[in-house]
Amino acid sequence: MYDNWEELEKSIEGCKKCKLCNNRNNIVFGQGNKEADLMFIGEGPGADEDKEGIPFVGKAGKLMNEAFKGLGINREEVYIANIVKCRPPQNRVPEEDEATACLNYLRNQVILVKPKIIVLLGSTALKNILGKEYGITATRGKWIEKKGIKYMPTWHPAALLRDENKKIEFWKDLKEAKKELKNEL
């Protein structure tokens, strides 16, 4: 673990800890305010993110941006990262060995950002951060506190593209996270 961003960012350069390195164009490390109170964790980069090296810039990211805008969440004020930093082929779910190889980078990011609240975007983020026993359908919208951080699991923004109800719930969960953050500050 590194106690500063410079060393952490340097440590991931040219990473070959898992097979996802073979097809990547860019490592998608994370984006945003490195001292954010509110952090978002997704699954892994898609094609657009792999091209640009920035998380959530594709279709799902645009939906997330819309929700941010509607709820008065400033994207520059939050920190956004993923479970895996390199794009899985055909956007498949990251495999266990890939997530395990990558998780220490994310743990280190969380330690340095020190967020009060983390929104977990979808099942992959939920299971890798809080444990395999959690299911997104039963857990979304409910606060789970661990080691002084409040976690709000919600749908992955890509799921909203197919389901209007999930869109409503996603907005509700983000609204709740924003409200809780206000209470915390």
Contact 21, 87 (CB under 8 A): no
Nearer to ligand URA, 32 or 45 (CB): 45
DSSP code, position 18: S
Closest contact distance (angstroms) between CB of 121 and ligand URA is 6
Task: Please name the residue that has the structure tokens 């080691």.
Answer: 147
By the rule CB under 6 A, 170 interacts with ligand URA: no
Task: Please name the residue that has the structure tokens 């997104």.
Answer: 136
The one segment of 43-51, 147-155, 159-167, 168-176 that binds ligand URA by CB under 6 A: 43-51
Closest contact distance (angstroms) between CB of 182 and ligand URA is 26
Q: Please work out the total of residues on this chain that contact ligand URA, with binding judged by CB under 6 A.
A: 12
The vertex-112 CA angle with 152 and 176, nearest 5°, equals 20
Closest contact distance (angstroms) between CB of 42 and ligand URA is 3
Give helix then strand counts, H and E, for the chain: 8, 6
Binding mask 44-73 for ligand URA (x = CB under 6 A): xxx--x-----xx-x-xx------------
Binding ligand URA (rule: CB under 6 A), the pick from 27, 73, 82, 160 is: 82
Closest contact distance (angstroms) between CB of 185 and ligand URA is 27
In angstroms, the CA 179 to CA 174 distance is 9
Nearest residue by C-beta to ligand URA? 42
Nearer to ligand URA, 28 or 117 (CB): 28
Residue 79 main-chain phi, psi, to 5 deg: -120, 135
Q: State both tokens at 180.
A: 């809780």
Nearest to 91 by CA among 128, 41, 52, 46: 46
Residues contributing to the site for ligand URA (CB under 6 A): 42-46, 49, 55-56, 58, 60-61, 82
